[in-house]
């Protein structure tokens, strides 16, 4: 038995377990309505009905019943479509393409912008000033009419909430389309296109109990996006390929449930997160909460731990039965400074630890979480002392 | 599962190669609680050779190690030791070439990174010991631990381990020590490990292209003398030609220098202060002793006068030598029979029979031959730094010294 009994999963920002009711709907969908939505026969019609109902559900859940929903294979694909697809469309029409993005974007946005740059687009990155997103710099970056701005709603590493309403307002004033990656925001903070005039929104299924490999790009108004895949005309030609009907149904249901439960669940997670935070800060010297002065989503606690070796910290935690991650789960074996944490704390080489809470956590785990994290921090700090 | 062996928690260094994969598998089979660890030593992203990270330390190594750990059902962690590795291995590699010596980075890695730095992490994970896929054996008897050559003489890697901190010996495990390479590959195949047919690593892991002149040029100060032109001279100081940087030379290397010389000539000395590369006929490489620095013992030091074997190149038979003097971190050896000795900066590894006693870095080679002032060295053939898998990497110049005959 490699671990103590009952390991605790504190990595819900990486992914979440599938909700049983979602699994049920997906299984039924795949078994019964297995037809290809492009087919004219009754199986095709049944599948199409499922798909279109999922589409309406996603749009409604996000407060934009008339929005266009393009189903994709996940958050990364939605982000790529929004950023690279927009740039390619502009470049193909012989126009200049300028993309403005925040310095804390997920690699799915940042790397797509980098690719757009290689293909001829101009990219401007807007950072943080005095600990907050630099709205002045952002406004200036919009001056020459970029073809897209992209700012995530909630940062995946620190859990900080970006001022999307303000950002959207600035974009609207300048007539610049705004994309926002809301993968970590849905079900945690209010995400409604009715309140924030965002033009393109990335959502995914697996962060809220839905299936992995499902996502959507929700578009209000006209979409000027070139496809990244080529084939049939599915999803309006923007994302060709036989639709994953069961996945779409699962995604729609997961979003609907997460948004319906949001207020109560956010409060529950925030109180658990705050309790862990309070007790860790009280018990450990030189521990820092990333983004403590900013609005934060309730499910992420991002800690800066000076004097600790980050890899060993996580390995020790795993050994103690706590599953967590460094900044994010994406960069394996890399100690490259995280953009989100560097934006808040430049020139800082503290180890970062992300504890992210979710449906598998409860107050009964509080003591063990605090004890294990304290112990792992103590050990990882001992390593750094030669 | 061996009934008698107590179950331990063991951290295995997994490079992603076949040897460490099988080492981990054998420990799992023996019933231990095994944790896999891959050390990330070097960021290929900084280098032009980023694309070719096929060697043991590359990112594909991390991926393969993780796949093997998953197949074995054990946890696997990546430890970033880039800072330590740069300090202990790369910086030393660069400064040694800068001093006109030929370093042994794999020895430095084994002495520092691979075991000491890993053990520190192992302690954090409450591990009882650490293991690797080296072909060496440990013999525990009467409270002492002896490190012995691997049973497969063609694969024996004891040469690389002389710098291990002695206090770690008791914590180490080398599950492959009694096996031959073909058996290890067969095991890997039988277990269906993805690494079963992986080729041996050939180059120094942090210079995957083998072009270390470029590597040095990026790390040495601009116009460092090691990379600047200088004279090629004979033992009497007569200038025979020019070279384009002494970092391209290794003492003991056979060099033509445009021909015209009546007999084969070898690099017999490198003089960084004047940038001179001294060449001469083979007899000038004959030595009657050598001095070791940074000496490390893995056994109680034998008294002066003891006859030992000293191995001065990977895969060379040990030379008979007498321990003349031992100091703190220092030893002087003499060769009862005249020997073609070693290259400064390379390892002098001391054995008594099969037992690895310790070793040091060759500081200078003593020669009876008077014409060479401050004689630094004498050696054949040029030991360009060998990889742990044992094949010497191609000579920096593309020309290798001929064997001693």
Strands B33-40 and B76-80: parallel
Contact A311 B75 (CB under 8 A): no
- Out of A310, A319, A382, the one facing B125 most closely (by C-beta) is A319
Return the residue of B nearest to A2 by Cα: B33
CATH number for the domain that contains residue B105: 3.40.50.620
Catalytic annotation, pick one of B57, B109, B127, B321: B109
Residue at B203 is within a domain: no
Q: What angle do CA B52, B55, B59 make, to 5 degrees?
A: 75
Residue B84 has pLDDT above 80, yes or no: yes
- Both B118 and B244 in one domain: the answer is no
H-helix or E-strand spanning residue B359 = strand B355-366
Q: What is the pLDDT of residue B258?
A: 60
- Both B181 and B303 in one domain: the answer is no
Confidence label for A267 from pLDDT (cuts 50, 70 and 90): very high
Return the residue of A nearest to B34 by Cα: A2
- Both B88 and B40 in one domain: the answer is yes
Q: Are A184 and A153 in contact (CB under 8 A)?
A: yes
Residue at B235 is within a domain: yes
Q: Which among B37, B124, B126 is the top mutation candidate for probing chain A, defined by the most A β-carbons within 10 Å of its own β-carbon?
A: B124
pTM of structure: 0.82
Residue B325: which domain range? 286-367
Residue A314 has pLDDT above 70, yes or no: yes
Return the residue of A nearest to B37 by Cα: A315
Q: What is the pLDDT of residue B395?
A: 36
Q: What is the pLDDT of residue A245?
A: 97
Confidence label for A188 from pLDDT (cuts 50, 70 and 90): very high
CATH number for the domain that contains residue B356: 2.40.30.10
Contact A333 B62 (CB under 8 A): yes
Return the residue of A nearest to B61 by Cα: A333
**A316 interfacial to chain B (CB closer than 8 Å):** yes
- Both B299 and B239 in one domain: the answer is no
CA atoms within 13 A on the CB side of B336: 11
The pLDDT of B232-247, averaged and rounded, is 90
Q: What is the pLDDT of residue B392?
A: 40
- Both B128 and B255 in one domain: the answer is no
Question: How many whole angstroms separate alpha carbon A16 and alpha carbon A208?
Answer: 6
Residue B341 has pLDDT above 70, yes or no: no
Residue B103 has pLDDT above 80, yes or no: yes
Is ipTM over 0.90?
no
Residue at B4 is within a domain: no
Question: How many whole angstroms separate alpha carbon A332 and alpha carbon B96?
Answer: 33
Chain A with chain B: Cβ pairs closer than 8 A:
52
Contacting residues for A7 by C-beta, under 8 A, at least 6 apart: A321, A322, A323
Contact B75 A318 (CB under 8 A): yes
Confidence label for A223 from pLDDT (cuts 50, 70 and 90): confident
**A382 interfacial to chain B (CB closer than 8 Å):** yes
**A312 interfacial to chain B (CB closer than 8 Å):** yes
Catalytic annotation, pick one of B57, B106, B127, B205: B205
**A379 interfacial to chain B (CB closer than 8 Å):** yes
Considering chain A, what percentage of its residues have pLDDT values greater than 90?
83
Contact B125 A311 (CB under 8 A): no
Question: How many whole angstroms separate alpha carbon B255 and alpha carbon B396?
Answer: 12
**A2 interfacial to chain B (CB closer than 8 Å):** yes
- Both B86 and B229 in one domain: the answer is no
Confidence label for B388 from pLDDT (cuts 50, 70 and 90): very low
Distances (CA, A) of A193 to A109, A155, A282, B63, B149: 20, 18, 40, 41, 70
Contact A309 B78 (CB under 8 A): no
Residue at B157 is within a domain: yes
Q: Specify the number of domains making up chain B.
A: 3
- Out of A2, A310, A311, the one facing B75 most closely (by C-beta) is A2
Count of Cβ atoms closer than 10 Å to residue A190 Cβ:
13
Contact A315 B82 (CB under 8 A): no
Q: Does residue B259 sit in helix, strand or coil?
A: coil
The pLDDT of A39-63, averaged and rounded, is 96
Contacting residues for A155 by C-beta, under 8 A, at least 6 apart: A104, A161, A162, A184, A291, A340
Q: Which residues of A are catalytic?
A: 330
Return the residue of B nearest to A316 by Cα: B125
- Both B109 and B168 in one domain: the answer is yes
The pLDDT of A209-228, averaged and rounded, is 94
What angle do the packed helices A42-61 and A245-283 form, to 10 degrees? 30
Contact A333 B59 (CB under 8 A): yes
**A309 interfacial to chain B (CB closer than 8 Å):** yes
- Both B186 and B226 in one domain: the answer is no
Q: Closest Cα of chain A to B331: distance in Å?
A: 28
**A314 interfacial to chain B (CB closer than 8 Å):** yes
pLDDT in tens, B21-66: 999 999 999 999 999 999 988 765 544 444 444 444 466 788 899 9
Q: Does residue A321 sit in helix, strand or coil?
A: coil
Q: Closest Cα of chain B to A380: distance in Å?
A: 7
Which chain B residues have a beta carbon less than 8 Å from that of A318? 75, 77
Q: Are A380 and A312 in contact (CB under 8 A)?
A: yes
Q: What is the pLDDT of residue A337?
A: 55
CA pseudo-torsion sign B160, B163, B165, B166: positive
DSSP per-residue letters across A187-234: TTS---TTTS--SEEEEESGGGTS-TT-EEEEE-S------SS-SS-G
Computed over every residue of chain B, the mean pLDDT equals: 84
Q: What is the pLDDT of residue B333?
A: 94
- Which of B57, B62, B102 lies closest to B78 in space, CA to CA? B62
Computed over every residue of chain A, the mean pLDDT equals: 93
Residue at B116 is within a domain: yes
Contact A318 B59 (CB under 8 A): no
Residue at B202 is within a domain: no
Which chain A residues have a beta carbon less than 8 Å from that of B38? 333
- Both B296 and B397 in one domain: the answer is no
Q: What angle do CA B269, B271, B274 make, to 5 degrees?
A: 145
Residue B149 has pLDDT above 80, yes or no: yes
Structure tokens at B170: 């008791």
Residue B365 has pLDDT above 60, yes or no: yes
Q: In what order do the strands lie in the sheet with A300-305?
A: A288-289, A300-305, A351-356
Q: Does residue A286 sit in helix, strand or coil?
A: coil
Tokens 């860790």 correspond to A280
Q: What angle do CA A231, A235, A239 make, to 5 degrees?
A: 50
Residue B385 has pLDDT above 60, yes or no: no
Confidence label for B256 from pLDDT (cuts 50, 70 and 90): low
- Both B345 and B377 in one domain: the answer is no
- Which of A238, A251, A163, A164 lies closest to A201 in space, CA to CA? A164
Return the residue of B nearest to A313 by Cα: B124
Residue at B226 is within a domain: yes
Residue B310 has pLDDT above 70, yes or no: yes
More confident residue, B367 or B296: B296
The pLDDT of B197-214, averaged and rounded, is 80
- Both B47 and B105 in one domain: the answer is yes
Contact B79 A311 (CB under 8 A): yes
Which chain B residues have a beta carbon less than 8 Å from that of A383? 120-121, 123-124
- Both B103 and B174 in one domain: the answer is yes
Confidence label for B257 from pLDDT (cuts 50, 70 and 90): low
The pLDDT of A27-55, averaged and rounded, is 96
Question: How many whole angstroms separate alpha carbon B136 and alpha carbon B28?
Answer: 19
Contacting residues for A69 by C-beta, under 8 A, at least 6 apart: A55, A58, A59, A216, A217, A218, A219
**B75 interfacial to chain A (CB closer than 8 Å):** yes
CA pseudo-torsion sign A59, A64, A70, A73: negative
Contact A312 B124 (CB under 8 A): yes
Q: What is the pLDDT of residue B294?
A: 95
pLDDT in tens, A319-353: 999 999 986 544 444 455 577 888 887 767 788 99
Which chain B residues have a beta carbon less than 8 Å from that of A326? none
More confident residue, A17 or B390: A17
Q: Are B352 and B309 in contact (CB under 8 A)?
A: yes
Q: B333: alpha, beta or left, given left = phi > 0 and alpha = psi -120 to 50?
A: beta
The whole-angstrom distance between residue A249's C-alpha and the CA centroid of its chain comes to 20
Residue at B350 is within a domain: yes
Contact B124 A2 (CB under 8 A): no
Return the residue of B nearest to A386 by Cα: B120
Say which DSSP state A19 is in.
P
Contact A311 B62 (CB under 8 A): no
Question: How many whole angstroms separate alpha carbon B267 and alpha carbon B254?
Answer: 6
The pLDDT of A104-131, averaged and rounded, is 95
């Amino acid at each position: 038995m490699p671990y103590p009994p009952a390991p605790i999963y504190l990595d819900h920002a990486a992914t979440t377990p599938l909700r049983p009711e979602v699994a049920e709907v997906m299984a039924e969908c795949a078994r019964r309505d297995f037809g290809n939505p492009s087919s004219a026969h009754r199986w095709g019609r049944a599948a199409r009905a499922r798909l279109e109902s999922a589409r309406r559900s996603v749009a409604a859940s996000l407060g934009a019943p008339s929005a266009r929903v393009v189903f994709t294979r996940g958050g990364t694909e939605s982000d790529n479509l929004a950023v690279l697809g927009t740039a390619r469309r502009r470049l193909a029409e012989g126009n200049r393409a300028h993309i403005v993005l925040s310095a804390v974007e997920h690699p799915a946005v940042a790397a797509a912008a980098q690719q757009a740059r290689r293909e001829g687009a101009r990219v401007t990155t807007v950072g943080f000033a005095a600990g907050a997103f630099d709205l002045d710099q952002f406004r200036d970056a919009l001056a020459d009419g970029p073809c897209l701005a992209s700012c995530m709603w909630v940062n995946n590493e620190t859990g900080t909430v970006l001022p999307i309403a303000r950002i959207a307002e600035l974009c609207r004033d300048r007539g610049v389309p705004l994309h926002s990656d809301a993968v970590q925001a849905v079900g945690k903070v209010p995400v409604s296109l009715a309140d924030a005039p965002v033009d393109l929104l990335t959502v995914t299924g697996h962060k809220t109990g839905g299936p992995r490999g499902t996502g959507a790009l929700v578009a209000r108004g006209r979409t000027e996006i070139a496809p990244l895949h080529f084939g049939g005309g599915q999803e309006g030609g923007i994302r060709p390929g036989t639709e994953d009907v069961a996945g779409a149904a699962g995604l729609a249901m997961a979003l609907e449930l997460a948004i319906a439960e949001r207020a109560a669940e956010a409060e529950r997670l925030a109180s658990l997160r705050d309790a862990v935070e309070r007790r860790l800060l009280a018990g450990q010297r030189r521990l820092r909460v990333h983004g403590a002065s900013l609005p934060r989503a309730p499910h992420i606690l991002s800690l800066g731990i000076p004097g600790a070796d980050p890899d060993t910290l996580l390995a020790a935690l795993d050994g103690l039965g706590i599953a967590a991650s460094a900044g994010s789960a994406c960069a394996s074996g890399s100690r490259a400074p995280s953009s989100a944490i560097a934006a808040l704390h430049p020139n800082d080489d503290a180890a970062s630890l992300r504890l992210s809470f979710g449906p598998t956590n409860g107050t009964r785990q509080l003591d063990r979480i605090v004890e294990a994290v304290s112990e792992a921090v103590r050990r990882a700090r001992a390593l750094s002392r030669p | 599962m061996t009934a008698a062996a107590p179950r331990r928690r063991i951290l295995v260094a997994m490079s992603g190669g076949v040897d460490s994969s099988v080492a981990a598998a054998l420990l799992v089979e023996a019933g231990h609680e095994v944790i896999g660890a891959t050390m990330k030593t070097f960021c290929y992203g900084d280098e032009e050779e980023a694309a070719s990270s096929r060697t043991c330390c590359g990112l594909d190594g991390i991926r393969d190690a993780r796949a093997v750990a998953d197949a074995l059902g054990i946890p696997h962690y990546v430890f970033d030791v880039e800072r330590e590795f740069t300090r202990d291995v790369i910086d030393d590699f660069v400064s040694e070439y800068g001093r006109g010596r030929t370093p042994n980075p794999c020895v430095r890695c084994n002495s520092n990174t691979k075991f000491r730095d890993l053990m520190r992490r192992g302690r954090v994970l409450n591990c009882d010991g650490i293991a690797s896929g080296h072909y060496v054996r440990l013999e525990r008897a009467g409270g002492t631990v002896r490190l012995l050559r691997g049973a497969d003489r063609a694969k024996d890697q004891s040469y690389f381990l002389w710098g291990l901190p002695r206090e770690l010996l008791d914590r180490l495990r080398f599950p492959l020590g009694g096996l031959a390479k073909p058996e290890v590959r067969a095991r890997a195949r039988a277990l269906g490990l993805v690494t079963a047919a992986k080729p041996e690593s050939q180059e120094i892991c942090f210079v995957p292209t083998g072009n270390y002149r470029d590597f040095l040029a990026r790390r040495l100060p601009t116009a460092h003398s090691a990379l600047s032109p200088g004279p090629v001279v004979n033992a009497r100081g007569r200038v025979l030609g020019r070279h384009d940087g002494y970092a391209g030379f290794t003492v003991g290397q056979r060099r033509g220098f445009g021909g015209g010389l009546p007999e084969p000539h070898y690099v017999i000395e490198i003089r960084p202060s004047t940038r001179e590369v001294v060449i001469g006929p083979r007899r000038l490489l004959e030595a009657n002793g050598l001095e070791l620095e940074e000496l490390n013992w893995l056994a109680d030091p034998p008294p002066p006068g003891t006859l030992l074997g000293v191995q001065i190149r990977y895969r060379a038979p040990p030379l008979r030598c007498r321990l003349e003097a031992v100091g703190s971190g220092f030893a002087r050896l003499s060769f009862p029979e005249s020997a073609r000795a070693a290259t400064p900066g390379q390892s002098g590894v001391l054995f008594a029979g099969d037992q690895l006693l310790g070793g040091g870095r060759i500081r200078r080679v003593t020669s009876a031959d008077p014409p060479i002032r401050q004689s630094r060295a004498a050696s054949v053939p040029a030991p360009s730094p060998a990889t742990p898998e044992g094949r010497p990497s191609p000579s920096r110049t593309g020309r290798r010294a001929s064997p001693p005959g």
